[in-house]
Amino acid sequence: MMNAEQFIIYACPVGELGQQINLYFQKSKELCGENTAHHYMPHCSLTGFFNADQTTIHHYLNTLDKAYHQSQDISLDIKIVQMMFKPNWHGLELKASGLKHLIAHFAEIMNSQPIEEKIRLKEWLHVSFAYNFQPQHHDSLKKLAKKIIDPQASTQWELRFYHKYPDWTWTCLKSWLL
């Protein structure tokens, strides 16, 4: 690896739901301090982080674009199954079989080639509101989420390919409407 950097593929809510989650991030940080979810934008991870050389990223983007366009005949809808509140994780559980198929196709193509690191697929699709928070903040964060976030709020989703920098800043290199 020459200059490997971190990349990841997300599905991100845009519209009312995305705005509500961003507001929740702001209010929850004011109320209970920072938790791990605050390092991210509202998203559903479709892959794990993977390392790649910046000079090869165009190949990843072209392959994902091709997989996206080959999936136009299947439903890429994302369904919200439920809002969940576990002891150290709060968020939305999602279902998106067509989207999982698209990402599996992308990973299959990329993993058959000489790349720096294999693409790992995520099995459990979800959007995190809060996690790795102090146990005493569970009830306050749950109450805040129920007040601010409506799982039925109108939303569209975007497939996004992100570059994550060591200082936790992000650049979206390309996005596709789902």
Whether 11 shows a pLDDT value over 80: the answer reads yes
Q: What ranges make up the beta strands (E) of 15-169?
A: 44-45, 50-53, 79-86, 89-95, 126-131, 156-164
Confidence category of residue 134, pLDDT binned at 50, 70, 90: very high
C-alpha torsion 160→170→129→78, nearest 10 = 0
Whether 153 shows a pLDDT value over 80: the answer reads yes
| CA distances (Å), origin 111, targets 5, 107, 114, 118, 158 | 17, 6, 7, 5, 23
Higher pLDDT, 75 or 145: 145
Whether 3 shows a pLDDT value over 90: the answer reads no
Average the pLDDT over 99-103 and give the result. 97
> How far is the C-alpha of 37 from the C-alpha of 89, rounded, in Å?
9
> How far is the C-alpha of 38 from the C-alpha of 61, rounded, in Å?
27
**pLDDT score at 72:** 84
**pLDDT score at 4:** 82
Whether 56 shows a pLDDT value over 80: the answer reads yes
**pLDDT score at 73:** 85
The DSSP secondary-structure symbol of 178 reads: -
- Count of positions (residues) in the chain: 178
> How far is the C-alpha of 14 from the C-alpha of 126, rounded, in Å?
15
Percent of the chain with pLDDT over 70: 99
**pTM score, whole prediction:** 0.95
Average pLDDT for the chain: 96
DSSP 3-state of 32: helix
According to DSSP, the β-strands at 50-53 and 4-14 are antiparallel
Domain 4-177 belongs in CATH node 3.90.1140.10: yes
Whether 5 shows a pLDDT value over 60: the answer reads yes
Whether 107 shows a pLDDT value over 60: the answer reads yes
67 burial type by CB count under 10 A (0-12 exposed, 13-18 middle, 19+ buried): buried
Is the CB of residue 162 less than 8 Å from the CB of residue 5? no
Confidence category of residue 2, pLDDT binned at 50, 70, 90: low
**pLDDT score at 1:** 46
- Structural tokens at position 131: 């996690």
Average the pLDDT over 155-164 and give the result. 98
Domain residue spans of the chain: 4-177
